[in-house]
Structures are given as structure tokens and as C-alpha cells.
Amino acid sequence: MTETGIRRELMRHVYEDIWIGELWNHGDPAGGRVLSEHFFDHRPIDAFPNTKHGHVAMAIDWNQAFPDFRFVIEDVLVEGDKLVARYNSSGTHTGVLSGIPGTGRTVSLSGIDIMRFDAEDRLVEWWHNEDMYGLMRQIAG
């Protein structure tokens, strides 16, 4: 495998297995180790800063609201220092999300992530587009 191929596989591993697998699917703050100290979320949620620490707190909060939520990666493209992924996910709303107490409703969410990696193969920037409006409609019933 070429050096470029090895880096692509490493980036995919960091994204799928650690960032999604550990941090988002299980709410394990150790998954935040793949975020650069200069991590920047280009579309933050108001309650959480767009920093590394804000991002980890947001993932833990999300996991509290949806303990069984799982992100399933459908497609991944890697080019240079960027990774683009399309995902589908679902889980049960049992905890508080944006001030809304758990409803017990099963919800789904789809979206696209664009990640930029630094030279140390850490996630340094995140652009994301997901159907949060649709998610909130599902929660509201």
C-alpha cells in the first residue's frame, strides 16, 4: 500500500472507529483524543463552544439524550487532508436534548460530515450538515 493509501486508511479509522465509534456512538470522552487542540466546529450548537472541549461536551450531552443512538457510515471519501462522509443514524430520545425531556420516541437523522486533518492526523476542522429540523419534528411527535 502506498503512503497515500496508508494515510487514507488512518484518516478513515480516526473518523469511523474513534470519533464516531467511541465519542459519538458511546459518549466516551477518550474519543476526543483525535481532536486537535485547535479543533474548530464551523457550525456550532449555541450551548457548546466550537472548540475541542466544547465538542467533547456536546457529544457526551448527545449520548445522554440518546444513549442507544448509533451512527452508521454509508460513504467515505478521502482526498488530501479532507474526509467527507455520509451517515444515517437512529436512537431513542430518553434524556434531555435542548431543554426537551426524554420522550421515549425512536428518531433518525442523516447527514454529511467534512473533516480536515492536520499533519499529525488529528481532526482540526468540522463542517457538517444534518437534518436537525427533521430530528426535532420527530421528537415533538
* Secondary structure string (H, E, C) spanning 17-72: HHHHHHHHHHCCHHHHHHEEEEEEECCCCCCCCCCHHHHHHHHHHHHHHCCCCEEE
How much is the pLDDT for 12? 96
How much is the pLDDT for 45? 82
How much is the pLDDT for 102? 97
How much is the pLDDT for 3? 87
How much is the pLDDT for 64? 96
Secondary structure letter of residue 121 according to DSSP? S
Question: Would you kindly state where each structural domain of the chain is located, as residue ranges?
Answer: 3-140
How much is the pLDDT for 4? 86
CATH code reported for the domain at 3-140: 3.10.450.50
Tens-level pLDDT at each residue, the chain (141 residues): 898 889 999 999 999 999 999 999 999 999 999 999 999 999 878 889 999 999 999 999 999 999 999 999 999 999 999 999 999 999 999 999 988 999 999 999 999 999 999 999 999 999 999 999 999 999 998
How much is the pLDDT for 46? 83
